[in-house]
Amino acid sequence: MVSAFFDAREQQQVEMPAVGVAARKPANTNRRLRSAAMLQALAAALWIPQAGILARSVGRLADGVGLGDMFWPAVFILLLGMVKSCLDAVGGRLAFRAARSELSEKRANAVRLLARLSPVDAGRPASGEAASVLGEQAELIVPYLSRFRPARMKASFVPLVILACIFPISWIAALVLLFAAPLIPIFMALIGWRAQAASQKQLIATSSLNAFLLDRLRGLATIRSLDAVDATALKLRSEAESLRTRTVAVLKIAFLSSAVLELFSALGVAMTAVYVGFSLLGEIRFGAWSGGLDLSQGLFVLLLAPAFFEPLRELSAVWHDRASGEAALKALDGIAAESMTLADRDKTGKLAVDAAFALRVENISFRYRPDQSPIFEGFDLDLAAGEHVALLGASGTGKSTLLSLIAGLAPCSEGRIIIGGASADRGHMAWIGQRPHIFAGTVAGNIALGRPGISKTEISKALDLAKLGGVAKAYGHSPLGEGGIGLSGGEALRLTIARAACDPDIRIILADEPTAHLDAETAAEITESLLALAEGRTLIVATHDPLLAARMHRTIRLDTEHLQEAAE
């Protein structure tokens, strides 16, 4: 089971280029969906000739013809049935493939937008939210596009054709059907919002039940400790029961719409049958164009009556796909709307190994949002290559922001960052954050992060430098817990130090409050590892920790004016 996961991951490198979905225009998807829907509508319409042959055959049987005369009609019905099934299948496949490739495209696009968002923007969607939009919610696009669209096409096309076929035979039968489905669009709208309301009510009910369950499961340790398992289970039950009562009360009304559809469709058939019967008996002498109906015509009308209502019923069955599909499309398109993006950093090409990695922050300005006051305005900073600097200052003075700007996690509104005379790129920088993300996978995998050209020796060197050998040994080849559960804060930090240590290109290390939230002993150890990593490299540390700051070459104090600089 688990291997299926990793299969996908292993294959990625090989398969990717092929996937790079040639950017198709949405119009293309729409066209494909339309032709698929046409095929399916055509398939549904094929019932008309089938019904015609069938009605005529039964009519002739009543006239007393024998089995031999049934041969060709049977063959035709069979052939038409095959063609019908095939057309329907081809249409269904076409619609599915168009819908599925639309999903892939939308997903890839959303991922691209997400990846461009600045991690320092507070308005960025949370990882859980993004995951549920891109994961299960996005999947709802497929049934919407591949089922609802064709069903809508069928519902607006097939009944009209059937009506057009019945009208020349008996205008009154056509009228009966037309009345049974009073003004189709209005009727559909009625079913539409009724069914939608009903399904939404039920959806809300179930999802709030799920939310209750998940909420309690998340705090299970507490519930168990309080001996409240039984009480919580009973509460869950009673909550569910009361939801049921309330939902059913709403459904009682909402289901009336489907009952109405059913009533009309059943009455349509019944009235057609009774009318045809009475007119065949000769008791009704109106409604047909000339001389009354004969048996074949009557049966034909009767066979078409249920087919007249079928597309409508089908449409109401897939109606709830529409709401969820449209919501999913909206969520995918809007996931990265109007947020701050990463700074554009074109690769400037590799700097020569011996190039001076002096860092210059030149006249930068930055604010998080246009309506907020600026964090930096015309700020300058010069760092020599290999210098170790501590950024000090109260919270909110912009220590972390400055690091982010240097790393290009957010764009400066003015000014620029220069390394060794060229504009900065991230290739020579490492980031040691406060709460590094731990990826699903082994310790070694978390250090290499799939970067090409990182050998086992480099990883084991990095493990030594970060003093992470013990953890790597304890876990061996088994994956770390989700989000680093089981790793302590110190160990997670060591992991990022090791990540930086195995990249020989790193020249500048940016560390954001590395020793915050650690006990004294661990903080001291982390400081040593960090200094070992920073040997011969530039190090900038944003910190509150006086012990760490004392180990730097110089400290820079940021205050609200940002310009006080104290050399030590």
Partner 1 sequence: MITFLGDIKPVLRLFLQTRRRELLLGATLSVATVTAGIALLGLSGWFITATALAGLSATTAATFDVFAPSASIRFLAILRTAARYGERLTTHNATLAVLAALRERLFRGWASAGAARALLNRPARLLFRLTADIDALDSLYLRVLVPAAVAVGTALVASVTLGLINPLSGLLFGFCLFLTGLGLPLAAGRLALKHARRRAYGIETIRSRTIDLVAGQTDLLMANRLAAQQQAIAAADTYTAKADDRLNRIETGVSIGFGLVSTALLVAALLTSATLMQTGTITAPVAALSVLVAFAATEPFAALRRGAMEFGRTILAAKRIAPRLSAAQADFTPKAPSRELAFALQNVTVSHHGAASPALREVALELRRGEHIAVVGSSGAGKSTLLSLLSGELPPSAGMAAALDATLLTQRTELFQDTLRGNLLLAAPDAGDDRLRDALAAAGLLADVDALPSGLDTPLGEGGMGLSGGQSRRLALARLFLRDTPLWLLDEPTEGLDGRTARDVLHRLALRAGGRALVIATHIRREAALADLIAVITDGRITEVSRRGEAAFEKALDRLRPD
Site for partner 1 in 5-44 (CB under 8 A): 5, 7-9, 11-13, 15-16, 19-20
Q: Which of residues 247-266 bind partner 1 (CB under 8 A)?
A: 247-248, 251-252, 255-256, 258-259, 262-263, 266
Give CA separation, 93 vs 81, 84, 87, 329, 463, in Å: 18, 14, 10, 21, 52
Return the number of the residue (409 or 459) whose C-beta is nearest partner 1: 409
Cα 539 to Cα 530: distance, rounded to the nearest angstrom: 9
How many residues make contact with partner 1 (CB under 8 A)? 167
Q: Please, which residues have CB within 8 angstroms of residue 466's CB and are 6 or more apart in sequence? A: 494, 495, 497, 498, 501, 529, 533
φ, ψ of residue 414 to 5 degrees: the values are -140, 165
Q: Which of residues 275-334 bind partner 1 (CB under 8 A)?
A: 276-278, 280-283, 294-295, 298-299, 302-303, 306, 314
List for the chain the helix, strand, coil content (%; round to 5): 65, 10, 30
Whole-number minimum distance, CB 31 to partner 1, in Å?
Answer: 20
CB environment 254-292: b (16+ within 10 A), e (fewer): beebbeebeebbeebbebbeebbeebeeeebeebbeeeb
**Residue listed under structure tokens 């700074």:** 343
Is 241 a binding residue for partner 1 by CB under 8 A? The answer is yes
Return the number of the residue (228 or 532) whose C-beta is nearest partner 1: 228
Is 218 a binding residue for partner 1 by CB under 8 A? The answer is yes
Token pair for 320 = 């709830």
* DSSP per-residue codes, 511-529: EESTTTT--HHHHHHHHHH
Q: Which of residues 437-466 bind partner 1 (CB under 8 A)?
A: 437, 439-440, 449-451
Among residues 226, 422, 524, 563, the one that binds partner 1 under rule CB under 8 A: 226
Least Cα distance to 95 among 51, 158, 31 occurs for 31
Cα 364 to Cα 75: distance, rounded to the nearest angstrom: 82
Is 96 a binding residue for partner 1 by CB under 8 A? The answer is yes
463, 450, 119, 429: CA torsion to nearest 10: 60
Among residues 24, 160, 204, 222, the one that binds partner 1 under rule CB under 8 A: 222
Among residues 333, 382, 519, 565, the one that binds partner 1 under rule CB under 8 A: 519
Whole-number minimum distance, CB 164 to partner 1, in Å?
Answer: 22
Amino acid found at 532: A
Among residues 183, 474, 524, 547, the one that binds partner 1 under rule CB under 8 A: 474
Is 49 a binding residue for partner 1 by CB under 8 A? The answer is no
Return the number of the residue (165 or 506) whose C-beta is nearest partner 1: 506
Is 521 a binding residue for partner 1 by CB under 8 A? The answer is yes
Is 355 a binding residue for partner 1 by CB under 8 A? The answer is no
**396 CB burial (10 A radius; 0-12, 13-18, 19+):** exposed
Is 567 a binding residue for partner 1 by CB under 8 A? The answer is no
Contact between residue 41 and residue 153 where contact means Cβ atoms under 8 Å apart: yes
Segment near partner 1 (CB under 8 A); pick from 167-175, 380-388, 424-432, 535-543? 424-432
Among residues 30, 35, 38, 70, the one that binds partner 1 under rule CB under 8 A: 70
Segment near partner 1 (CB under 8 A); pick from 30-38, 101-109, 368-376, 378-386? 101-109
Strand 508-512 to strand 538-542: parallel, antiparallel, or no bridges (unpaired)? parallel
Contact between residue 523 and residue 551 where contact means Cβ atoms under 8 Å apart: no
Return the number of the residue (186 or 317) whose C-beta is nearest partner 1: 317
Cα 266 to Cα 489: distance, rounded to the nearest angstrom: 68
Whole-number minimum distance, CB 7 to partner 1, in Å?
Answer: 8
Q: Which of residues 146-205 bind partner 1 (CB under 8 A)?
A: 202, 205
Number of neighbouring beta carbons within 10 Å of residue 234:
10
Return the number of the residue (171 or 212) whose C-beta is nearest partner 1: 212
Among residues 30, 35, 132, 200, the one that binds partner 1 under rule CB under 8 A: 132
Return the number of the residue (125 or 562) whose C-beta is nearest partner 1: 125
